[in-house]
Amino acid sequence: MGQSAPGDPVQRLEFGASLTSQGVLFRVWAPRAKELSVCISSPEAAILRMERGADGCFTAFARGLDPGAEYMYQFEDGRRRPDPVSRCQPRGVHEASQVVDPLAFGWTDGDWRGLPLQDLIIYEIHTGTFSSEGTFAGIVERIPYLRELGITAVEIMPVASFAGGRNWGYDGVALYAPHTCYGGPAGFKRMVDACHRAGLAVILDVVYNHLGPEGNYLAEYGPYFTDRYRGAWGQAINFDGAGSDPVRRFFIENALYWLTEYHVDALRLDAIHEIFDFGAVHVLREMADAFHRQARLLGREAWLIAESDLNDPRVINPPAIGGHGLDAQWHDDFHHALHTLLTGDHNGYFMDFGRIGDLAKALTQGFVYDGGRSEYRGRRHGAPSTGNSGRQFVVFNQNHDQIANADAGRRLSQLASLAQQKLAAAILWCAPALPMLFMGEEFGASTPFNYFTSFTERALAEAVSEGRRREYEPFFTDRAFPDPQAAQTFVGSRIDWAEPARTPHRELLAFNRRLIELRKSTPCLANSRKDLTQVSFGEEPRWMIVRRGDLSGLDALLLCNLSEKSLTLTVGEQSGRLALALYTGEETFGPTPSVMPPATIEKTGASVELASFTAALYLPATGKGTADDDR
């Protein structure tokens, strides 16, 4: 697959259906096929025999064919399969692919250059349940709401075409084709374009560690999978075995495709710990090099963000010191540390957490498990990340996985009190990292977020339902297990947009808006300087004081009471007068506790009384600090 020229808005795909002035060139890598033909089903039926090259690539040219034409590849035994590099699957993953003109869409974001990494305030969205329409257009309608909230980037869960109409997206099989039920290629482009007009970056979640179980025909074309490694989803993708060079290229070019043809600003790479590559140059490093090079050619800032269970700083370290060169990664340890303190949950991997010291370490150093023994894993885990910038970590109190899997579909609003939710939000927005919300979290959405599918193959659907029931039924001790295949499991996971106008959702929404505003306007909160962050804490009773600094020497203080009783905290050394900027117990944001902190802190050693599960944010009374370089 070829790269674009500087400023070229289209990724010139080497494979797939490529439009020319004379017709359409079809090209597919299929070393396992002896013969292939292109079967064109519309506008008129035709079959073109393809020419096989020595490298296993088949080509054919259809003169006079236009965009919208539908086609499949036919093997020597009569099997007909979609194009592995299909840009569109209008009738599902088992049916014909469609020729798409990548230049047909009229972009209006010519002046958009992306956002600096440290400016990302992320909002994770599942397209199908974010709106009643369940489409990209439904997201566009909520852009003014997101802007008012203070969001700077939307992260869209995977959109690659999958079997059926309901899915999280991690069962995608047509990795170049935005799902038709969501709005297809044109709908996704309209959404990205609208976001950019509003100043919002777009992060797309992509899955390069496995493909879905239904409609996955790649193995019939070539050695895309290997038995050398087994991942959580079965056979691993062949990134380092015989015939792996074109496989690597298939996934790397997919990343460039979303960056170039769809103008996305970042990719979130799903579960990179399930990508097995023991070659001299890891596929992630090769991908990062190509992705960043293409972003420079396009004159844009663009980022790669990993989901990783490895606690390995090599994922985000630069190649110069042996790293893969990804820009950031999700910070699960932050979530686990705060979640256990609020909920008392110690099931599964939560058994490794539960101390204030864990949360303090997540804030100031990064990985909590950086070489120490993990009881959950029964071994030592991780390596130190103290030298990595806070902007390389995405922190969150909730995400799709943690709600649906670890918490049996229940959001934090079902697991914690309103006071605890506000306390958690204060810690999130004051963390020296990139903050992320899961859709509806900002107003304490009461709707669950469950795992759902709509596989069309009956045996597979039954196996998935039974497998999920056995795996997660222990989490559903007080209610029936929601069948992933049931339509109601999907419908019940939709956001209820009437809630933000009602108490207590209205107050929690106002609270999050205020915190985001303070974060964006206060340099010592907006920076990601872990090295200028200090945390003092106590385990019994549970309290924490977070001091955020910048190069001006001015500090912000977040005082947190994580216990069930009122506490008096003593402030350490002070360089100046501090004023109370926000208290989680303010009447504006819900029920008011009897204990109120002082309006100012005048001196070192001052005492501040806090009600249970509250936090008070103090900012410099003489100014908000000055911008500084991020580290």
The set of catalytic residues is 270, 307
Nearest of 359, 370, 339 to residue 430 by alpha carbon: 359
**Is the Cβ–Cβ distance between 154 and 126 less than 8 Å?**
no
What token pair was written down for 438?
């899961």
Strands (E), 43-152: 46-49, 51-52, 57-63, 70-75, 80-81, 97-98, 122-125
Q: How far apart are CA 462 and CA 483, in angstroms?
A: 10
Query: Beta strand 379-380 with 160-161: parallel, antiparallel or unpaired?
Result: unpaired
Measured CA angle at 219 (ends 213, 220), to 5 deg: 115
Q: Helix, strand, or coil here: 481?
A: coil
| Gyration radius from the chain CA atoms | 25
Q: How far apart are CA 67 and CA 185, in angstroms?
A: 13
Q: How far apart are CA 519 and CA 515, in angstroms?
A: 6
Q: Helix, strand, or coil here: 424?
A: helix
What token pair was written down for 202?
């777009």
Burial of 224 from C-beta contacts in 10 A (0-12 / 13-18 / 19+): buried
Query: Which residues lie closer than 8 Å to 465 by C-beta, 6 or more apart?
Result: 483, 484, 485
Nearest of 115, 83, 122, 101 to residue 204 by alpha carbon: 122
Buried b (16+ CB within 10 A) or exposed e, 361-377: bbbbbbbbbbeeebebe
